[in-house]
Structure 1
Amino acid sequence: MLGAGGTTAARQVTGAGDIPVDTPRVPAREAAETELSKPMYHENDPNLFERGLNRFWDWVAGVFDAAANAAPGGPAGLVVLILIVIGLAAALWWRLGTPQRASLPTAALFESDGPRSAAQHRAAADAHAAALRWTEAVQERMRAIVRSLEERALLDPRPGRTADEAAAEAGRTLPGQAARLRSAARDFDDVTYGGRTADRPTYLALRALDTELDEAKPVLPGTSRGATG
């Protein structure tokens, strides 16, 4: 009968030559790594992009889990907070318009379909307003304002003039309306090039400015504002 020492010796040797049967630990690990590194074992492994994407989504999930644990009400509270942030962002965009307005193109104020009178632009603006097409109504009313100033010789007719240029030039002759002219030009640019949708108050403000400009007395060169009374 073999004791504990005899059992161990029996595992490690065979026959009289005392040749070890157990493979040493380090060579065994190296052999396993070599075997597992063969391409046949990695045919279905995700590629580098998939691994990176999986890590990214794991990170996102971890962020949301941490936020859900910290937010009042747990996951439901986090959803409410996200909806509030989205609502505030939408409200700011609607109120302020598209950011980076300075990068908007500065195309000509008038289209190239032939000149039209101020009365024609006003009629087109009123027709768009009646159909609740406020963006087109704002565009046509701004054109009516500029065309009216040209017809009154307060602006020189000039092809290719932009709304900003017209407002700046007219503001020097009509300083009392300069600020509102600049605001009207910004509204025109925002709805024409900035992707913003006009509304009824914006159109009514331009229509009121159009009426006021028709009655305003210009400040001619060499004449003070007080002298025009």
Structure 2
Amino acid sequence: MMSTGGLITRSAALLPAAEKPPVTTPRDPAREAAERELSKPLYHQDDPGLLQRALDRLWEWVGNLFDHASGAAPGGTLGLVAIAVLAALALAALWWRLGSPRRTATATAGVFDDTLRSAADHRTAAAAHATAGRWTEAVQERMRAVVRSLEERTLLDPRPGRTADEAAAEAALSLPDHAEALRAAARTFDDVTYGGRPGDEAMYTRLHTLDTTLARTKPLLTGPPA
């Protein structure tokens, strides 16, 4: 006769393998094993490249920004579109009114136009513009008077196409004490002529003072010391 304990032992031995208690792995080692497995190149062959991921993040950021802006703008998305259109129209009107920046493209143009006039003629024109409050034109004509006066005194050789910067650098050779004032005058001329900066009375006064000062200054005919 078989005992109860023997019967239980015999029954357990006859259980199928699938019904045996599963083998368990602690949580941390299991996670580390999964990470090692998923880090293999096999699982990342179809991942997007670095550039694609960056573009995806950029478009995601733009989309979120647009969503927030449309939510905050009156009228939602339609209101945001209307604001963008109005801003574009305002920029177009400003561009049409002021013109495109020209300093870079034309700052190498000469001081004089095609009309040959004396220093006295330029001074007369400058004074007339100053009296009328046309300070930009007054500044331009006074700088032309400075350069033409230096040419008439043979401190500069008459040369078509000479820029204000070139005139200042060449004149400084025989008028070294006024080199900085000449460079400042050239910058002022370029700013109002090519940079779109409006002239003012202070600019004109500085050029007027420079013109009258240079007319009384004796040049250094032998050039600067070596």
TM range (shorter): 0.5 to 0.7
Contact 1:104 1:194 in 2 (8 A): no
SS at match of 2:196: coil
Q: Any idea what the Cα deviations from partners look like across 1:124-178, whole Å, max 9, x if unmatched?
A: 0000000000000000000000000111111111111111110000011100110
| Letter matched to residue 133 of structure 1 | R
| Letter matched to residue 127 of structure 1 | A
SS at match of 1:149: helix
Matching of residues 175-214 of structure 1 within 5 Å: 175-214=176-215
The alignment's TM-score, normalised by the length of structure 2, stands at 0.55
2:181 and 2:70 map into 1 onto residues whose CA distance is: 47
The alignment's TM-score, normalised by the length of structure 1, stands at 0.54
Offset at residue 105 of structure 1 (A) = 2.8
Describe the shift of the 1:60–1:178 C-alpha distance in structure 2 as closer, same or farther (beyond 3 A): farther
Describe the shift of the 1:57–1:128 C-alpha distance in structure 2 as closer, same or farther (beyond 3 A): farther
SS at match of 2:133: coil
| % identity of equivalent residues | 59
Matching of residues 42-57 of structure 1 within 5 Å: none
2:119 and 2:192 map into 1 onto residues whose CA distance is: 20
- Structure number with larger C-alpha Rg: 2
Structure 1 residue ranges without an equivalent (≥5): 1-54, 67-97, 225-229
The total of aligned residue pairs comes to: 139
Aligned match of 2:113 in 93, 108, 111? 111
Q: Any idea what the Cα deviations from partners look like across 1:17-66, whole Å, max 9, x if unmatched?
A: xxxxxxxxxxxxxxxxxxxxxxxxxxxxxxxxxxxxxx958615737999
Structure with bigger RCO (C-alpha 8 Å, 6+ apart): 2
| Letter matched to residue 107 of structure 1 | A
Q: Any idea what the Cα deviations from partners look like across 1:101-143, whole Å, max 9, x if unmatched?
A: 6665310110012x11100000000000000000000000000
Describe the shift of the 1:206–1:57 C-alpha distance in structure 2 as closer, same or farther (beyond 3 A): farther
2:212 and 2:63 map into 1 onto residues whose CA distance is: 59
Describe the shift of the 1:217–1:63 C-alpha distance in structure 2 as closer, same or farther (beyond 3 A): farther
| Letter matched to residue 110 of structure 1 | F
Contact 2:101 2:196 in 1 (8 A): no
Describe the shift of the 1:120–1:61 C-alpha distance in structure 2 as closer, same or farther (beyond 3 A): farther
1:223 and 1:186 map into 2 onto residues whose CA distance is: 23
Residue equivalent to 1:172: 173
1:170 and 1:222 map into 2 onto residues whose CA distance is: 10
Structure 2 residue ranges without an equivalent (≥5): 1-60, 73-99
Matching of residues 1-229 of structure 1 within 5 Å: 59=65, 62=68, 104-113=106-115, 115-221=116-222
Runs of 4+ in 1 over 2 A off after TM superposition: 55-58, 60-66, 98-105
Describe the shift of the 1:202–1:63 C-alpha distance in structure 2 as closer, same or farther (beyond 3 A): same
Offset at residue 189 of structure 1 (A) = 0.6
Question: What root-mean-square deviation, in Å, do the aligned CA atoms of Structure 1 and Structure 2 show?
Answer: 3.0
